[in-house]
Amino acid sequence: MDVLDRADLPFPESLPGFQRLFPDDAACATYLERSRWPDGFVCPHCGVVGSPFRFENRPGILRCRACRKNTGLTVGTVMERSHIPLSTWFWAAYLVSSQTPGLSAVQFQRQLGLSRYETAFGILHKLRAAMVRPDQDRIGGHPDQHVEVDETWVGGRTRGEGRGVHHKVLVAAAVEVRHREPGTAQDNRRDGRYAGRVRLAIAADRSAEALGGFVKSAVELGTLVITDDWSGYGGLRKDGYDHHAIAQCGDPEVPEEFLPIVHLVFSNLKSWINGIHHGVSAKHLQAYLNEFTFRFNRRFYPFNAFRSLLGIAGDATAPTKTELYSGEWRHPKCSGYGR
């Protein structure tokens, strides 16, 4: 669950503030308990609500006063079955959610002094699994806004395998377009338009089934949707959208005029992947799209995103090491698209 409206959960706005709030694992355990059970601890064994027994040397264990059974604080979260200290998990959640460009596993390993790259890689991927709310709503639905939809290829060039061969992955995007108040400092940029919420997902191909399915999973019915004139979007009006298709006619200035925001998102996404991660594998690309989406949609309150991430992580399923490295794990997509 997203906990942006939880006034009882403070969030650190600086590194010294983080250290004051979470000096040890016990402080992290107290915060996580309040995040998971805002109305008081509920025993999963007997259902009794009340303050449990706590152990100073085992902050991750809560014992019900009624049935005397133990409950692991991280059970049912992305931290379940982890031997990594809670403080390390909290540092990871804070760094990945509050820093504008995020951080790579190599950077995370170096900053926290972890001995193995695989540990840092696993922690970050488990947190990325918590960056998509199970009850995620669809964007759009406002009469004074519209949504731009487009797709792009993500990946590097392939050499020596023949003309036209590549290993790029098709990514579809839907972006809310909002308008700044007249008279503000930036209202002359792109005619005052700026990006609201974004949805990103890997698409199987450019067919009407794949692209139309993405739009239906990401955008509210009845929304004004602007796309190019590719045939894959031809059925959107029949699906219940106010669809406007823009014919490019080979003119590169047409997309910049009618689809500037979604192209800006694509540019930022590719710069982020290449600049921070230096490329990512196709089987994990959706996880990085989820991370980009999570931080982009919370860019106006990055520190608040920390407690939001912990709130979602408290009720999310994360991949095991075997699932992650074998490719069996399917990273979540917006509103269950393609699942």
In a structure prediction context, what are the per-residue pLDDT tens digits for the chain, which is 339 residues long? 455 566 678 888 889 999 999 999 999 998 988 888 888 899 999 989 988 998 888 888 999 999 999 998 888 889 888 889 999 999 999 999 888 888 899 999 999 899 999 999 999 999 998 898 877 889 998 888 999 999 999 986 666 676 666 788 999 999 999 988 776 666 566 678 889 999 999 999 999 999 999 999 999 999 999 999 999 999 999 999 999 999 877 777 777 788 999 999 999 999 999 989 888 888 899 999 999 999 999 888 877 888 888 888 877 888 888 888 888 888 888 655 655
Instruction: Say how many CA atoms lie within 13 Å of 64 toward its Cβ.
Output: 16
**In a 3-state reduction of DSSP, which class is residue 274?**
helix
Q: How many CB atoms lie within 10 A of CB 20?
A: 12
pLDDT digits (tens, 9 = 90+) for 147-173: 999 999 998 666 667 666 678 899 999
157, 149, 151, 153: which is closest to 175 by C-alpha? 149
Q: How far apart are CA 26 and CA 73, in angstroms?
A: 11
In order, the DSSP letters of 148-212 are EEEEEEES----SS-TT----EEEEEEEEEEEPPTTSTTTTGGGGEEEEEEEEEE-S-SSHHHHH
Strands (E), 224-330: 224-228, 242-246
| Backbone φ and ψ of 66, nearest 5° | -90, -55
The pLDDT score that the predictor gives to residue 1 is 45
User: Helices 285-297 and 304-313 meet at what angle, rounded to 10?
Assistant: 130
8 Å CB contact between 93 and 306: yes
Residue whose C-alpha is closest to residue 100's, from 280, 266, 302: 302
Tokens of 22: 């979470």
For the beta carbon of residue 321, count every other beta carbon within 10 angstroms.
Answer: 13
What gap in Å lies between CA 161 and CA 240, rounded to an integer?
43
Of 125, 132, 128, 232, give the one whose Cα is nearest residue 172: 232
49-68: per-residue pLDDT in tens?
988 998 888 888 999 999 99
Distance CA 6, CA 27 (A): 18
**In angstroms, rounded to a whole number, what is the distance separating the alpha carbons of residues 294 and 311?**
13
* Alpha carbon separation from 135 to 132, 233, 305, 334 (Å, rounded): 9, 26, 17, 9
